Amino acid sequence: MTQSSGSIDTTIRIADIPDLEVDPVTVDIIENALRNARHEMDAVLFRSAMSPVIREQHDEFPMITDPRGRMVVGQFGAYINEMMEEWDRGIYPGDVILTSDPYKCSASVSHTNDWLVLVPIFFEDEIVGWASQFGHQMDAGGRLPGSLPTGAKTIFEEGIIIPPLKIVERGEVCEDVLRLILNNVRLPEMNRADLFAIIAGCRAGERAVMGLCERFGRDVYLATLQALLDRTYAAMKVLIQMVIPEEPQTFEDWIDDDGLGNGPYRMRLTIWREGDEAWFDWSGTDPQAIGPVNFYLSEGMFKMFIGVYLIMVADPQILFNDGFYPLLHVVMPEGSLLAPRHPAALGCRTHALTRLFDVLGGALCKQAPELNTAAGYGTSPYMLYSGWGEDGEFFYAMEILYGGIPGRPIGDGMDGHSWWPLFENIPTEYLEAYYPLRVDGYTTVTDSGGAGMHRGGNGVEKRYMFLEPGQISIHDDRWLTRPWGVLGGEPGQRSTKLLRRADGTEQVLPAKCDEVEVEPGDILIYRTAGGGGWKDRLERDPEAVVFDVAAGLVSREKARSAYGVVLTADGKVSAAETETERASQRETRGEFSAFDFGPTMEEVLERCEAETGLPAPKRAKPIRWSPLEDGDVALARVRASLIP
């Protein structure tokens, strides 16, 4: 392809994929070398980054692609073709491209805190692939520390918006560009360190690919990439036949509010299969929100999420790559919560991002209920704390918390775990050493997981005591709706936030709020939601209930009321009483439904303030710039794009 850079035209040669058969041993060697390279990218970043969000929590995502931009190994799916769609400045060995603008890269990243780096990999003057990685910057400028204001109405309030540009050209850092970017953030030293750590991670991937080309030859390497993509394509064909029904199935769930008192917001998905190919139609999803809970979801990203879900539920040994993309088709009405129009705010998009997996699981559950999970805690809870210490230095702490993973076919949901499996928590010692706060407790919330044959995981309670005056912000969801259970499993408990002042007074805080003033001695009690239970709660092994009670995960009261298990004074199962109790509960309960959401939405809204201490959200009119594209029009547009 021909590209221009200023007045200089240059032809960039993209290597062709050769039609070559590679022996299985070589395929395995290259596959494992790429897996290792992808983890080396992580290791380089973790050892070099300054911010705890990347260094400790691992909020970053690497990938290595083939010359066409198709991910071969990684975490977050291909986005390079969309990102480079309007690129016209030439690409050379040693270049590094940076962006943080979701609207300029077709949602390659979904909010301005994610700084995405892209490195072309040249071998013998041809591009043989790309190394890419993005990580969450703790601050990207904007109205509030952390760049995640819950009251934002446009993306312009959410920090510096970096269009795709070169931060390194032919190996030389573009210092003026870098100075401009860092002049607009609150923690420039940390941002600089994290940026170059991400670049170093990409360079590690680049070196690994060049080494494989030198060892096996370019043609063998590229043919192996195609073989790996083809293998995943074939495996996904089988999964689609097994899991996706031909008869359309529809499921919906809700985001509780948008941070501005509006909500709840419907997410509605219909799935079906035509031959070997699957369709995913988001028609019926609400128009984009006024507040920042919109999730600008690219088609490629959603296909990646589908693949993650199907592969991890059905067969985690399948190599996750982009080979299956041609089998999936996505209908995303423009102007909706998942395809918002510029300049919609995006900073709190993780609520929709994680709820997406619940909706996807619910739709799949109708075809293969035994293979699918209940709903998880359904968000990515944030706690932000900032201010100026006695020494006059600015401090800013940010932590992502976790919640209850849903009950699953293979066992109980995990307690207090991340919905994204490679995330980790920030050690308490780190938080207390670097920030003016003390963690007074970090436990699971007893009884918060939904009862089931496989119990939903419990949410977490974290108690932060603040040691300096400052402000806190909270990002969470599932305070209004409950994580639903399936096949006789019960919903998990909702999240709550309580600020206990040093003078003994208490204040219930919304799940999304900013600029809450705190003083030394104030304690924030942050409780996240539990996961839903899987399958009939009265079929749970009584000895598993005994263990849960002994471990403090389930109370004696819930052991009886939810599981029908009666315990003796010394904590053992009373077999006769348990049998009688379970028989009585089965008769009283009768037949259970496939899904248990708890109270209806009408009941939830009516009882909201009495149960949560917070006013119920209200439905808002769509904002003026977001007329919603009709679902049939969107479907016709997608079908037309498939015509050869």
Give the residue-averaged pLDDT of 440-450: 97
Question: 436 falls in which pLDDT band (50, 70, 90)?
Answer: very high
Lookup: tokens for 96: 């590094």
Q: Is residue 5 over pLDDT 50?
A: no
Sign of the C-alpha dihedral computed for residues 606, 610, 612 and 615 taken in this order: positive
Q: Give mean pLDDT, residues 18-43.
A: 95
Determine contact, residues 517/502, Cβ cutoff 8 Å: no
Within a domain: residue 383?
Answer: yes
Average pLDDT over residues 468-496: 97
Total of domains in the chain: 2
**pLDDT of 1 above 50:** no
CB 254 within 8 A of CB 264: yes
Nearest partner of 58 among 70, 49, 67, 66, judged by Cα: 49
Give residue 130's identity as a one-letter amino acid code.
Answer: W
The last residue of one of the domains, among 190, 216, 235, is 235
Predicted confidence at residue 630, as pLDDT, reads: 83
Nearest alpha carbon to residue 166 among 176, 151, 155: 176
What pLDDT is stored for residue 242 in this prediction? Answer: 84
Task: pLDDT band for 314, please (50, 70, 90 cuts).
Answer: low
Read off the tokens for 557: 């009261």
The predicted structure's pLDDT at residue 644: 57
Q: Determine which of 26-30, 234-238, 578-582, 583-587 has the lowest per-residue pLDDT on average.
A: 234-238
Which structure tokens are listed for 168? 């390194």
pLDDT category at 643 given cuts 50, 70, 90 is low
Structure tokens at 348: 């709190």
DSSP H or E stretch at residue 395:
strand 394-400
What are the tokens at 264? Answer: 């709840």
**Per-residue pLDDT for 427 more than 90?**
yes
Answer whether residue 640 is part of any domain.
Answer: no
Cα–Cα distance list, 593 to 138, 248, 484, 490, 596 (Å): 43, 20, 11, 11, 7
Domain final residue, candidates 188, 214, 235: 235
CA pair distance 28, 216, nearest whole angstrom: 13
Span 560-584, average pLDDT: 97
> Is the model's pLDDT at 269 over the cut of 80?
yes
Q: What's the CA gap between 289 and 286, in Å, rounded?
A: 8
Are the C-beta atoms of 381 and 411 separated by less than 8 Å?
no
Residue 298: pLDDT band with limits 50, 70, 90? confident
Residue 625 lies in a domain: no
Cβ contacts of 263 within 8 Å, gap of 6 or more: 254, 255, 256, 257, 289, 480, 617, 618, 619, 620
Per-residue pLDDT for 4 more than 80? no
Last residue of a domain, one of 183, 202, 235: 235
- Report yes or no on 557 lying in a domain: no
Query: Is there a domain that residue 202 lies in?
Result: yes
What pLDDT was estimated at residue 226?
96
Q: Who contacts 384 (Cβ-Cβ below 8 Å, separation ≥6)?
A: 145, 146, 148, 396, 397, 398, 472, 473, 474, 475
Q: What is the mean pLDDT of the chain?
A: 92
Q: What is the per-residue pLDDT for 9? A: 32
Would residue 332 count as lying in a domain? no
- Residue type at 228 in one-letter notation: L
Residue 220, classed as helix, strand or coil, is helix
Question: In the structure, what pLDDT confidence band is assigned to residue 313 with cuts at 50, 70 and 90?
Answer: low
Bond from prior residue into 18 cis (ω within 30 degrees of 0)? no
Specify which residues 280 forms β-bridges with: 271, 330
| Measured distance CA(350)–CA(372) in Å, rounded | 22
Q: What tens digit of pLDDT does each residue of 104-135 get? A: 887 888 899 999 999 999 999 999 999 999 99
The answer to whether position 67 is within a domain reads: yes
Q: What is the pLDDT of residue 2?
A: 35
When pLDDT is averaged across residues 237-246 and rounded to a whole number, the result is 88
Identify the domain containing residue 518 by its residue range. 373-536+592-598
Supply the pLDDT for residue 307. 84
Please report the pLDDT score of residue 79 as a whole number.
Answer: 75
DSSP secondary structure letters along 121-175: EEETTEEEEEEEEEEE-S---SSSTTS--TT-SBGGGSS----SEEEEETTEE-H
- Distance, in Å, from the CA atom of 404 to the CA atom of 619, rounded to the nearest integer, reads 28
Residue 250, strand partner residues: 270
Mean per-residue pLDDT for 232-251? 90
In a domain? residue 338: no
> How far from the centroid of its chain's Cα atoms is residue 503's Cα?
38
Report the distance separating Cα 371 and Cα 289, nearest Å: 33
Q: Which amino acid is at 1?
A: M
Q: What is the mean pLDDT of residues 355-359?
A: 91
What number is the average pLDDT over the span 61-90?
85
User: 469 pLDDT exceeds 50?
Assistant: yes
